[in-house]
Every structure is written in structure tokens, then in C-alpha cells.
Chains A and B, each alone.
Chain A
Amino acid sequence: MQIEMKNIYKAFGQNKVLEGVQFSLEAGEVHALMGENGAGKSTLMNILTGLHKHDQGTIEINGKETSFKDSKEAEEAGMAFIRQELNIWPEMTVLENLFIGREMVNAFGVLRNKQMKARANEIFKMLNISLPFDKEAGLCSVGEQQMIEIAKALMTDAEVIIMDEPTAALTDREIEKLFEVMKGLTKKGVSLVYISHRMEEIFAICDRITVMRDGKTVDTKRIKDTTFDEVVQKMVGRELEDRFPHREAHLGEVVLDVKGLTKKGLFEDIHFAVRKGEIVGVAGLMGAGRTEIMRALFGVDQIDSGEITVEGKKVSIRKPTDAVRYGLAFITENRKEEGLILDFSVRENIGLPNLKSFAPSGLVKTEDEKKFAEMMIKRLHVKTSSTETIIGNLSGGNQQKVVIAKWIGTSPKVLIMDEPTRGIDVGAKREIYELMNELTERGIAIIMVSSELPEIVGMSDRILVVHEGKIAGELKKQEVTQEKIMALATGGN
């Protein structure tokens, strides 16, 4: 299928989202769509898949002008959109998920399981994957769930598959597998649109790249003819000297010391120390236990044994309240589920962990809270129209800044950041890195869990590598390379 989108305009009310976008897709290509959050990528793809109607412009499919009434019609024409939030029914089996809404039945409406299994087998074979049909989808890994989604798309004979951040939650092995499947699909003539912030992956798998900025297409190029720097520059519209700001650490004394932290089945004998002003990176594969260690350290989950010392004093952390009291702060990997109250305003979110100081007598001093929120917004460059804006309406990068603002207000001694830049654009990432530098300048210790190796290498003063629930090794800034981390993370040395 060959697609040509010309001069697409789209506005939601007053808000002009797309202003003359050009996008083309060839049969059998992998086409990267890049741009900062809010550049209009999702809207463009929603138009292509019939969810939204464009105001102006034309869409040609195989040279014929087409317009989809709704997403059903687009699906019938061969479009599939695999969103970041996967459409999985966790309590239902793999097979049930594959055929949800389009079950095969006989004349009496009884399910034809044999036929469905046969069809699913066909597709699985084509994708070269194997998954037990009767496994509960919720027990499958995110990578496997993604495969279910891809299989579902193929089941509808999709010729165009759009993937939004497909690798965000995948392990390296799963990513490899996904890329294999993607290559197989293109050989069969399926076109793929690949939306991602991960530059390395785009250069590894894509044929062409289109960069969008502020609702316009900046450029479309063959991957071979462009460079990493050029793409970044086009995305942000300015030169980024570097992805990571210059960092000079001034280490103070040990502020947090962890010894023998153990939770059976998850992690064992974890020991490390963090100094004032230090950024300790925690690397490892997905599922190695990094997040679990941090959750236990913060009292979200209970440890079986271990010793935590804060500023030389042994402490017992049984619940988050304790952790907060001892000066720990936790920026979770999932800001929507664990970081923010989406219906609250920016001010209320920032105020939440600081209620004690804004409401010493129980009465919330809204004015103080507002002033504080305004100060934080300014300091962290949060793009929001006011302190009263509902947080759910901000972009991912700005939401993340609010999560950070929330915790800075508590004047933490140790800031735990789990995947601090996941799903946010290059410009906002850089701002968050700068903020981390500023915080450590002021003596705050940062523990940063991240799956992005460049980030770990670029920002950490010291790196702990977790493998199967144990600390597999520690690397100093001077000696670290991505290869060394990977070797430790995969069980080598």
C-alpha cells in the first residue's frame, strides 16, 4: 500500500494542531515519525486511521483519494494502530485476546476454537513466535503482549501498522525479537510507521524518517542520508550542543547506606551507598529487580531483611510516610499511575507531599501553595498556562517536571528517580538532566534507575548494575562504557 498525505490541517477548537503536514509511506518500508511531544505525530496518525477527520488536505491511497469515515472503515482498508497503552484484556487468554470482537462462530453462535487456533497458529508461524494460547494475557510479558497486538493487526490483514513507542517497556532481547518480526513484515509488503524517541533504534531499523515540529513537517529523509545530530537539531529547531549537560560532581559524605537488603524472590543482599551531590545510576535489564529495590527502599513494599542508614542513623522504613520523614523522595517510573493525581491542578499536585508545610494547622493556605507552585513552575520551566491547569492536560515532559517539583518541595536528601525521562522528548530530557545537576550542586543525592544506557553513562558518577536481583558490579564514571554495563547486566563480566 502506498500512502500520500498532502497539506493536512487540523484544529481542535482554537488549538491548531496540524498546519500543512506532508507525509508519505511506501509499501514495505519502516518509516520513523519523530518529533517532540505535542508536535502532532499522534494526531496525524489518528487522522490516517480514521479516528479524527482532517480539516483540509488530501489522503491518497495507491494514488486514489480516500477519506475514512471512522476507524472501523480504516481498519477494513488495512490500517492498524498499536498504541502505547496496549489493548490487552489481562484476565482473558492469549487466544481470546487475539479474536476479541471478531470471534469465529458456527451457525449457532458457538465459538469455533479449533478454527481460531489454526488461524492463530498461522499468524504466529508467520511472525515466528510461540505463545501458549491458554495463557492469561496479563501473565505475559509486555513484549509478548505487544506480539499479541501485532498478531491481532495481521489477523485483520493490515497492510499498514503504526506503532507508538513500541519498545518503551521492552527488554533488549524483546526489542531484538520485535525488530526481527518487523523486518519479516516489510518483506511481505507491510508498511510500518514507527513513532519513537529512541534515536538508536530508529537508525537501526528504519528506512526513512519524517521529523515534525509544531504541527508541521520539517523534513523527510532516507536514514542513510541523515545523522543523529541532524535529526535532533530538526526536532528541537535549534542546535543541541550535547544531549547531556556538562557535569562536575562535588561529593560530600555518605547520606544513604544500604546493607543486605533482601526480599525473597525479587532481590538479595543489596548493598550500596550514596554520597551527597552524587548521581548513582542503576542499570540492568527489565525485570532484574531495579524498580523492586527502589520500591522497597521507599517502603512501598516490605523488605524481608536488611539495614538502611540515613546520615549515619539506622532507620526503619515500613511505609512511604517513613521514607518521606527520613528525607527520601521517589519519582516513580509510571507518572500517571503512581506519580500524579491526574484530576488535580498543577498546584495541588505540587502541594501534595508538602501539605504539612502548607497546612500546619490542617487548614490549607492556598495562597502559599500557589506562590510555591509558581516558583517551581518558573524554576523548572514547566509549560503550563497557570498553576490551576489540570495536570492531565500537560504534555509528558511537563508532567514529569511537576512530579520532580512535587518532591523538590520536600527538600529531600536522597532523590530516587525511576526512568526519569521515559516517554519525553529530547528537549525536555536535556532540561531534566540540567535540573539533576542543579540538585546535586545543592547537595542532594540522586539514585537514577534507567533503561537508557546513554543516559546512565552520560549522567551518572557511579553505576550499579543489577542482574537477577543482585548487584552484579559497580562501575566508575571513568571506566564505564555501554558494553561493560550490558556485559554485567546479562550475567557476564
Chain B
Amino acid sequence: MKLEATGKSGIWQKFGPLLALILLFIVITVLNPSFMEPNNILNLLRQTSINALIAFGMTFIILTGGIDLSVGSILALSSALMAGMMVSGLDPILAILVGVLLGTLMGVINGILVSKGKMAPFIVTLATMTIFRGLTLVYTDGKPITGIGDSELFQMLGRGYFLGLPVPAVVMIIAFFILWFLLHKTSFGRKTYAIGGNEKASRISGIKVDRVKVAIYGLAGTMAAIAGAILTSRLNSAQPTAGQSYEMDAIAAVVLGGTSLSGGKGRLFGTLVGVLIIGTLNNGMNLLGVSSFYQQVVKGAVILVAVLLDRKKS
């Protein structure tokens, strides 16, 4: 694995998040042994899969020094469009494919605005977050889209099992390996790090910075739309408010995984661990009966501590 590219990574950056995750597992298991039951672990994996898919895409963007606030809205809009297509009788698989492509397109729009429009990613995606959400509300008329048929394959996506694993978890694992390969083994990945490390130098080195950025935002859109497909299948409907604040969970997972918000440093494996930490916290605190109000406080505190440790040790 290409650890070198992460730069002066301290011990924390390499193993800290993983240690934290293991510690968290131990603590929760001690407090409530049912946490480690296979059923619960599978449940945990299914719960984390949506955040994981979004966070994987977000990792690429944050590595370039950017941010994408619109992924939650992309998820909702593509989910609504997929559901709409299915209701109107389109083949569910085709509907998902088209929906995912539309998600990619939304991401590409972000990417073009950021690179060609030379606007700050925060502002661009803040605006498109609102626009895509608004379009979702317009399209759904603010109401859930239901009655999307009973295609078995489509049902499988959110609720089925494959080789004993929930299908969403399988999608997450496959996505992880593909994206890990893309980030750490290909020139595309190298360029991603290079742009985050020094955009000017990258440009002068002949890297097509704008094109790479458009592709990366497109990738984030794709991942959000895939997450949208899974969510649509699980809920058997498209919700106009789906995916709200998912961008924050994704950013939190990326940062927990040790990726620097200023770009250039970080790993996809870290994000996977970050996602699992957040998922474990949610799942574990539910098991332990912690009130959902306190859960938010704990989650926030964990993020702060993680970033603090990262700063001190690296």
C-alpha cells in the first residue's frame, strides 16, 4: 500500500483510528455482549454502508483540498428520479443505472463549477445542495414516491443477502476495493494526491487539474447516487428529505480516518475505519440505550478528540 504518499504520517495517522475502533468494540462488548452477535455485526455493516459509499467519494474530494456539501441532496434527487422512473414503468435495473448516471452528472456539474468556474468548493456545493434539494421537492411535490413495484432484484439491493452478507455491505466492500485500487494504484489516484499537495506544481507538471477535479466530483456524485439506490430499495420508496445531513456524517468519517481537510494527505482505509467508528457509535449507543440526544453530543466529542490527537501526533 502506498503509505508514503500520505506524507509525514505519524503513528496515529496510520493506526490510531483502527485502534480507536477496536477499543470502541471492546468497550461496547463489555457493556453489552450482544453487540458482538453476528446478527448485530451484519446489521452494523448494513447501517454503515450508505455513509461509507458517500464517504469514499468524499475522500477523493477532500484529498484535493475540496469539499462536497451536496452529496446528501444528490442522493435524494437521484433516489426520487429512480423511483419516478420505476413508477412510470421503466425496468428497475435500467432505472437505477440511469439514476446513478444522473447522480454522476450532478457531481460533474459541481466539478465544472469548481474547476472551470474557479469558485470555492464550499460555496459551489452549498448552492447546489440547496438547488438539488429544491429540485427533489419540486419533483416529488414534497411527498414520498411509493408503489415502485416489486422487482426482486431491486428489493435485493437494500434488503437482500449475498453469501450471508447484507447486499449493501457487499456493495460497500466491492466499492472499497475498486476505489482503493483507483486511489492507491493508478495515475488518477496519484494525481488526486498531487493536486491536494500542491495544485500549482501539479498544473505546471502537466496534470490536467480541471479534468481530474471534474472526474472526482463526478465520482462523488456517482457514489451518492448508488447510496441513494440502496436507500430507495431499503425504504421501498423515495423520500424527499432523504439524505439530509449525510454530507456531515461523510465528512466526519473522512476526518476521523485521518484525512487532512487541507488536502494531500489521507487514505481510503482510514475512511472505512472512520465510517465504522461512526456506525459503531450509533449502533452501540442504541444497544446501550443512550438517548439519541446524548448520542449526538458523544459523536461530536469523538470527532473533536480524533482531530485533536491527529494534530498533536502528526
Question: A-side interface residues toward B, CB under 8 Å?
Answer: 298, 300, 319-321, 323-325, 330, 332, 337-345, 347-348, 351-353, 355-356, 358-359, 362-364, 366, 388, 390, 392, 406, 410
Contacts and interface: CB of A to CB of B under 8 A. Distances in A.
Contact of B187 (A324, A343, A358): A358
A388 B204 CA distance: 22
Contact of B206 (A353, A359, A362, A363): A353
B204 A344 contact: no
B4 A362 contact: no
Contact of B202 (A325, A342, A352): A352
A231 B20 CA distance: 56
A227 B188 CA distance: 54
A341 B185 contact: no
Contacts of A319: 203, 208
Interface string B158-201: 00000000000000000000000000011111110110011011
Given A355-B190, A359-B187, A337 B201 contact: yes
A344 B200 contact: no
B198 A320 contact: no
Contacts, number: 95
A214 to B, nearest CB: 26
B300 interface: no
A201 to B, nearest CB: 30
Contacts of A342: 197-198
Interface in B251-277: 264-265
Contact of B190 (A339, A352, A392): A352
A406 B197 contact: no
Interface in B1-19: 2, 4-8
A344 B201 CA distance: 12
B207 A352 contact: yes
Interface of B: 2, 4-8, 185-191, 193-194, 197-198, 200-208, 264-265
Chain B interface helix/strand/loop/mixed: helix
B80 to A, nearest CB: 34
A146 to B, nearest CB: 24
B194 A341 contact: yes
A345 B186 contact: no
B186 A359 contact: yes
Nearest to B197: A341
Which one of B193, B194, B201 has the greatest number of beta carbons of chain A within 10 Å? B201
B295 to A, nearest CB: 36
B188 A343 contact: no
A343 B8 contact: yes
A348 B187 CA distance: 11
B201 A341 contact: yes
B191 to A, nearest CB: 7
B5 A348 contact: yes
A389 to B, nearest CB: 9
A341 B264 contact: yes
Nearest to B201: A338
A298 to B, nearest CB: 7
Given A343-B8, A343-B197, A388-B4, A355 B202 contact: no
A320 B203 CA distance: 7
Contacts of B197: 341-344
B204 A330 contact: yes
A340 B198 CA distance: 7
A337 B186 contact: no
B204 A340 contact: no
Contacts of B265: 343
A348 B4 CA distance: 9
Contacts of A341: 193-194, 197-198, 201-202, 264
Interface-centre pick from B2, B191, B203, B204 (highest chain A CB count, 10 A): B204
A388 B7 CA distance: 10
A283 B168 CA distance: 64
Which 3 residue pairs of A and B lie closest in terms of their CB atoms, listed nearest first?
Answer: A343-B7, A324-B206, A359-B187
A364 B7 CA distance: 18
B8 A362 contact: no
A366 B7 CA distance: 17
A367 to B, nearest CB: 12
Contacts of B208: 319, 321
Given A343-B264, A345-B4, A364-B186, A300 B203 contact: yes
B206 A364 contact: no
24 contacts: A298-B204, A300-B203, A320-B204, A323-B206, A325-B206, A337-B198, A338-B204, A339-B201, A339-B204, A341-B201, A342-B197, A343-B8, A344-B5, A345-B5, A352-B190, A359-B186, A363-B185, A363-B187, A364-B185, A364-B189, A366-B2, A392-B7, A392-B8, A410-B206
